[in-house]
A = this chain, B = another copy of it.
Amino acid sequence: MALTVAPGPNDHTVRSFDAELERLSNTVVRTGGVVEAQLAGAAQALIRRDSVLAAEVAARDVDVDVLEQDIQDHAIRLLALRQPVAEDLRQIVGALRIAGDLERVGDYAANVAKRSMVVNQSPPVRVVAALPRMLGLAQEIVKEVLDAYVERDVDRAVAVWHRDEDLDALHTSLFRELVSYMSEDPRNITACSHLMFIAKNIERIGDHATNIAEMVHYLVLGRPLRETRPRGEDFLPDPGSLPDPQV
C-alpha cells in the first residue's frame, strides 16, 4: 500500500518516480507519433481520393483513444500514489492535458478522412488541392510542438504557437474559395460543404497545437503563456469587427 508509506521520499522512491514520469511522457510522445501518422494518412486519402485509405485512417482513431486512456489512468495513479508537487505535479497535469489535445487532433484527422469518403462520391473539386497543403502545415505544426515537448523547449513552443496564424490564413482564403465554387455550380454544394468542415477541422488542429505549446510553457516555467493567443479572423465579412468564432 504505497499510500501508507510516509511521504518523505528516499532515493529509491525518487528514482522510481522519475522513471514513472519518463514513462508517462514517452506515452504522450508515442501518442503524438500516431496522431502525426493519422494526419499524413488523411492528407494522402484526400489527395488520391482513396476511400479505402480514408476508412483505415478513420478506423485507427481508436488507437489514439486507447493511448489517451492509458495516459489518464497512469497520471491518476501517479497523482494518487505519489502526491507530487511543483514541477512533478506540472509534468503529470501537462501530460494529461497534452494527451487530451492529441486525442482531439486524432478525432479531427479521422473526421477529415470520413468526410473525404463522402466527398469522393461527388466529382473532384479543384479547390481540394489546397486542403492537403493545409493538412501538411497542420502536421508540421503538430510535429514541431511535440519536439518542443520532448525537449521541454519553451522558445520552440512559443514559435509553433505563432505558426497557427498561417493555418488560420489558409483556412480563411479556402473558405471564400469554397463559397464561390458553390455559387458557380450548385452541384458542388454538398461536396463543398464537407470540404468546408474539413478545412475547419484542420484549422482546429492548429488551435490544439497552440494549446500544447501553452502547456509546454506552463510545465517548464510554471506559469501560463501570457501573450494573447493567436486567433485567425475566420472568414468573416469584416474581419476587423469580429473575433474568430474559435470553434
Contact = CB atoms under 8 A, between A and B. Distances in A.
A247 B93 contact: no
Interface residues of A, number: 44
Instruction: Describe A's contact surface by its main secondary structure.
Output: helix
A236 interface: yes
A23 to B, nearest CB: 20
Interface stretch (A126-134, A144-152, A192-200): A192-200
Contacts of A186: 182-183, 186
Copies of chain A in the complex:
2
A121 B236 CA distance: 11
Given A114-B242, A118-B236, A189-B189, 6 more contacts: A79-B89, A108-B247, A111-B245, A182-B186, A196-B196, A201-B247
A139 B7 CA distance: 46
A154 interface: no
A189 B179 contact: yes
A175 B189 CA distance: 12
Interface in A149-183: 175, 178-179, 182-183
A242 B193 contact: no
25 contacts: A3-B85, A7-B7, A76-B89, A76-B93, A80-B89, A83-B83, A108-B247, A111-B247, A114-B242, A114-B246, A115-B245, A118-B237, A118-B242, A121-B237, A179-B189, A179-B193, A182-B182, A182-B186, A182-B189, A182-B193, A186-B186, A189-B189, A196-B197, A197-B245, A204-B247
A107 interface: yes
Q: Which of A76, A108, A242 has most chain B Cβ within 10 Å?
A: A242
A79 B76 CA distance: 10
A213 interface: no
**Which 7 pairs from chain A and chain B are nearest by CB?**
A111-B247, A83-B83, A183-B186, A111-B245, A114-B245, A182-B189, A80-B85
A13 interface: no
Contacts of A118: 236-237, 242
Contacts of A190: 179
A135 to B, nearest CB: 14
A35 interface: no
A200 B93 CA distance: 30
